[in-house]
Structure 1
Amino acid sequence: MKIALGNDHAGTTYKFAVEAYLKDKGIEVENFGTDEESSVDYPDFVHPVAQAVTSNTADFGILICGSGNGVAITANKYPEVRAGLCWNKEIVSLIRAHNNANILCIPARFTAVPQVIEMVETFLNTAFEGGRHQNRINKISLHC
């Protein structure tokens, strides 16, 4: 498995913790995020993650910024991306099981590192349920 990981300055500490957790589990990580805490623009780190997921060079993506909203909004501009903003593992379970989310968006300023590790573990270990949920996912894309 390969995870594309991206973050802005608010998520640097979290990114390092997530990256260490994933590598410890034997999961390959591609780091598209900043390694610094000086201010940067989150879209610069979201686009490569979304592109890696949509081109299937990564199985999933994880994005981290202060509120999680900016990265989620940007990632969801890609038609094949289903990015979910989560702040606890119960919501993470639902975005995987019901929405088949392929990118997890984390609000660094509203979570703690141990909580984020639980969220990442849940994201990777929760399967999509399919069935009626697939019918709903099929209706997400715009048909103008």
Structure 2
Amino acid sequence: MIALASDHGGYELKQKVIGYLEANGYTCHDFGCYSLESCDYPEFGRAAAEAVAKGECEKGIVICTTGIGISIVANKVPGIRCGLCADTYSAKMTREHNDANMLAMGAGIVGPNLALSIVETFLNTPFSGDEKHVRRINKIEEEVK
């Protein structure tokens, strides 16, 4: 299951991502928001990140206008490694090197076609498992405690 969340600035792109995911056999849990009405991203981004951290969802995708604020919120949840990506190379690297379990995007930065390519890359790229990357991730996790 994929956790999704957005604010009003990311709502329309989130709907496109959900449609893409469902058409490709993924199950989605939408943590909000549910309209274009102005809202605050922290409550929605945090809810999605907590679901991923608890293991209720395998991965998460969060979207606001820039992706910055909602990625900050997600990364404050222990156990979350959320990569803000605006291209497919970053999406690939955040999975291969950082074993990111959440993806953040900015709806005002990437268009829908690029966003769907980023999502596809993020979800289909495995973690390399290289010792140096495992060591670095462990160091990241130690800093959170």
Alignment partner, residue 138 of structure 1: 138
Count of equivalent residues: 143
Alignment partner, residue 56 of structure 1: 55
Counting aligned pairs with the same residue, the percent is 41
Alignment partner, residue 32 of structure 1: 31
Shift of 1:78: 1.4
Per-residue CA shift, 1:27-75, capped at 9, x if unaligned? 1000112121121000010111011101111000000001101011111
TM-score of the two chains, using structure 1 as the length reference: 0.96
Alignment partner, residue 68 of structure 1: 67
C-alpha RMSD of matched pairs (Å): 1.1
Alignment partner, residue 96 of structure 1: 95
Shift of 1:143: 6.8
Alignment partner, residue 4 of structure 2: 5
Alignment partner, residue 120 of structure 2: 121
Alignment partner, residue 82 of structure 1: 81
TM-score of the two chains, using structure 2 as the length reference: 0.95
Q: Unpaired segments of 5 or more residues in structure 1?
A: none
Moved over 4 A (4+): none
